[in-house]
C-alpha cells in the first residue's frame, strides 16, 4: 500500500511546545509520511530560538517529521510585532504555495491563534484539489478583540469575512470545545452538507508523558510545608494571573502558608512580578523558568493542586485550555478560575473546585476548602480526574477517529 502523506500547517511547531508536536509524531508511528509547514520558532519569548533564523535551520527532520520553516517576523512584545508576525507567515505561505512541488494526500491545519495561518491550507488544498481539515482551538475574530482591545468594524469586519471564507472552504472543521459550534455554524455555508456533518467535536488529549508519578527528582519547588499550587504554561494577559495578587493578599491576612509556583514565560510575566513586589507578597510566589513539556509532570508531582486560570470574556468561557487535559491526566486536584465549559468539565468530573474568572474571593475560598480536606478526600478528587481523562480524552480513541475521517474524505 502506498504511504499516505499528511501536510500539517501550524505556525508553531517543535521546539515550540504545542500539542501538534505529539500529533505529528503519532502519525509517524502509524506509518504516515508527515511534513510540517511552520514558522521560525519564537513563541513565547518573542525572539527567535537560539540556532534558528532566516538563514538557519529552515529545513530539518525531527524524529521522522520533515519540517519546512517559512521566513517570518518574530512576534516581539508589542501588538504591532504580533500583527507583523501573523501577516508574515501568511505572505510567506502564499509564495510557498505558488512554488512548492510538494504533493501530500491531505492537509491538517492546527489553529491556535492566529486563524490567518489557515488561509495557507485553503489556498493549497484548492490548488492541489486535496482534502483540508481545520482544527479550531481559538475562536476568531472574538479572540482578536479580546487580546488587542480592537473593536473597530473597519478592522474586525474584514477579519470576520476572512474567517467565514476559511470555514466555507474547509472539508471538515474539528473543534476543541463544544461551545464553538454555534458560532462556527452561523458562519459557514456547507453546500451539500449540513453544519452537523462538517463540524466535529474533537477534544484535545494529553501526551503520554502526562501521568501520575510515584517519585520525581527534587525540583525548584520548596518542600517546606507550604500548600503548593502549580501553574504551568504561557503567562499572558489571557491567562488572567493578575488575580493571584489579590488572592495572595487575602491568604496573607489569614496567615495561611500557600505558594503559587508559576512555570513558564510570556508577555505578562514582568508586569505580574512587578505587582507582587509592589505589595510585598513575594513569599507567596515562586517563578520557575519555562521547562520542556516532558518535565512538567515532575513539577506536578510536588503540587497539592494545579491551577487553570483565564481572564473574563465570552470567548474564553467557550474555550477549554489545553492544560485541562494535561492536569487531569496527572491525577492532581484542580483549581479553576475561569468561566464556562472548562468549569463544567471540572465540576461534572468531580476533579477539583471551581470559581468564576477574576473572582479572587471565590478562588481564595476554594484554596482554603481544599487545604482543609482530608488526604482521603483529595485522593478521591485525583482519582476522579484520572477516570474522566481516560474515558473522555483517550489519546488512541481520539487519534483513531480523526485518522479515519481524514482519509474518508477523498
Ordered by where they begin, the domains of the chain are 5-205+394-408 (3.40.50.2000), 227-392 (3.40.50.2000)
In whole angstroms, what is the distance from residue 54 CA to residue 70 CA?
8
Q: Is 307:229 a contact under the CB 8 Å cutoff?
A: yes
Residue 145's pLDDT is: 76
- The mean pLDDT of 355-384, rounded to a whole number, is 96
In whole angstroms, what is the distance from residue 345 CA to residue 185 CA?
23
Residue 28's pLDDT band, with cuts at 50, 70 and 90, is: very high
pTM value is 0.82
Cell numbers 489569614 correspond to 254
Enumerate the β-bridge partners of residue 135.
Answer: 110, 174
Residue 187's pLDDT band, with cuts at 50, 70 and 90, is: confident
**Which phi and psi angles does 251 have, rounded to 5°?**
-65, -35
All cell numbers assigned to 57: 535551520
Residue 150's pLDDT band, with cuts at 50, 70 and 90, is: confident
Residue 188's pLDDT is: 80
pLDDT tens track for 2-20: 789 999 999 999 999 899 9
**Whether the predicted pLDDT of 193 surpasses 60:** no
Q: Which of 38, 362, 39, 82 is nearest to 238 (CA)?
A: 82
**Whether the predicted pLDDT of 95 surpasses 80:** yes
In whole angstroms, what is the distance from residue 406 CA to residue 119 CA?
19
Residue 194's pLDDT is: 64
Q: Starting from the edge strand earliest in sequence, which strands make up the sheet with 227-232, in order?
A: 285-288, 258-263, 227-232, 305-309, 334-337, 352-355
Residue 54 DSSP symbol: T
**Whether the predicted pLDDT of 191 surpasses 70:** no
pLDDT tens track for 99-131: 999 999 999 999 998 999 999 999 999 999 999
All cell numbers assigned to 79: 501588538
In whole angstroms, what is the distance from residue 344 CA to residue 339 CA?
9
pLDDT tens track for 281-319: 999 999 999 999 899 999 999 999 999 999 998 888 888
Indicate the range of 172-181, 211-220, 229-238, 250-259 predicted with least confidence: 211-220
Q: Which of 59, 57, 54 is nearest to 35 (CA)?
A: 59
Largest CA distance in the chain: 68
- The mean pLDDT of 183-190, rounded to a whole number, is 79
Residue 192's pLDDT is: 47
**Whether the predicted pLDDT of 233 surpasses 50:** yes
Indicate the range of 145-149, 184-188, 229-233, 373-377 predicted with least confidence: 145-149
Amino acid at each position: 500500500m502506498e504511504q499516505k502523506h499528511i501536510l500539517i500547517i501550524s505556525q508553531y511547531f517543535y521546539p515550540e511546545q504545542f500539542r501538534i508536536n505529539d500529533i505529528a509524531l503519532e502519525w509517524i508511528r502509524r506509518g504516515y509520511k508527515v511534513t510540517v509547514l511552520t514558522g521560525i520558532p519564537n513563541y513565547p519569548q518573542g525572539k527567535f530560538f537560539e540556532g534558528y533564523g532566516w538563514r538557519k535551520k529552515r529545513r530539518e527532520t525531527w524524529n521522522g517529521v520533515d519540517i519546512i520553516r517559512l521566513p517570518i517576523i518574530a512576534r516581539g512584545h508589542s501588538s504591532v510585532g504580533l500583527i507583523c508576525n501573523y501577516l508574515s507567515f501568511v505572505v510567506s505561505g502564499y509564495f510557498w504555495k505558488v512554488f512548492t512541488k510538494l504533493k501530500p494526500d491531505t492537509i491538517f491545519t492546527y489553529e491556535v491563534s492566529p486563524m490567518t495561518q489557515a488561509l495557507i491550507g485553503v489556498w493549497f488544498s484548492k490548488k492541489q484539489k486535496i482534502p483540508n481539515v481545520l482544527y479550531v482551538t481559538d475562536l476568531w475574530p472574538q479572540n482578536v478583540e479580546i487580546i488587542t482591545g480592537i473593536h473597530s468594524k473597519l478592522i474586525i469586519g474584514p477579519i470576520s469575512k476572512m474567517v467565514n471564507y476559511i470555514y466555507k472552504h474547509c472539508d471538515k472543521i474539528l473543534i476543541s470545545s463544544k461551545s464553538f459550534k454555534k458560532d462556527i455554524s452561523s458562519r459557514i455555508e456547507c453546500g451539500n452538507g449540513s453544519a452537523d456533518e462538517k463540524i466535529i467535536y474533537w477534544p484535545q488529549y494529553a501526551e503520554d508523558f502526562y501521568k501520575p508519578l510515584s517519585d520525581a527528582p527534587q525540583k525548584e519547588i520548596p518542600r517546606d510545608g507550604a500548600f503548593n499550587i502549580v501553574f504551568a504554561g504561557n503567562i499572558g494577559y489571557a491567562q488572567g494571573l493578575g488575580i493571584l495578587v489579590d488572592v495572595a493578599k487575602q491568604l496573607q491576612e489569614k496567615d495561611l502558608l500557600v505558594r503559587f509556583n508559576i512555570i513558564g514565560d510570556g508577555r505578562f510575566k514582568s508586569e505580574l512580578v512587578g505587582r507582587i513586589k509592589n505589595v510585598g507578597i513575594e513569599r507567596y510566589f515562586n517563578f520557575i523558568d519555562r521547562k520542556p513539556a516532558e518535565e512538567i509532570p515532575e513539577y506536578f508531582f510536588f503540587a497539592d493542586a494545579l491551577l487553570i486560570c483565564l481572564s473574563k470574556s465570552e470567548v474564553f468561557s467557550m474555550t477549554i485550555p489545553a492544560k485541562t487535559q494535561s492536569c487531569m491526566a496527572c491525577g492532581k486536584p484542580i483549581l479553576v478560575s475561569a468561566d464556562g465549559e472548562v468549569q463544567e468539565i471540572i465540576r461534572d468530573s468531580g476533579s477539583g473546585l471551581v470559581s468564576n474568572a477574576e473572582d479572587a474571593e471565590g478562588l481564595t475560598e476554594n484554596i482554603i476548602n481544599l487545604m482543609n480536606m482530608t488526604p482521603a478526600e483529595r485522593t478521591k478528587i485525583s482519582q476522579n480526574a484520572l477516570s474522566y481523562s481516560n474515558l473522555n480524552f483517550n489519546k488512541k480513541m481520539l487519534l483513531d477517529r480523526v485518522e479515519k475521517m481524514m482519509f474518508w474524505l477523498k
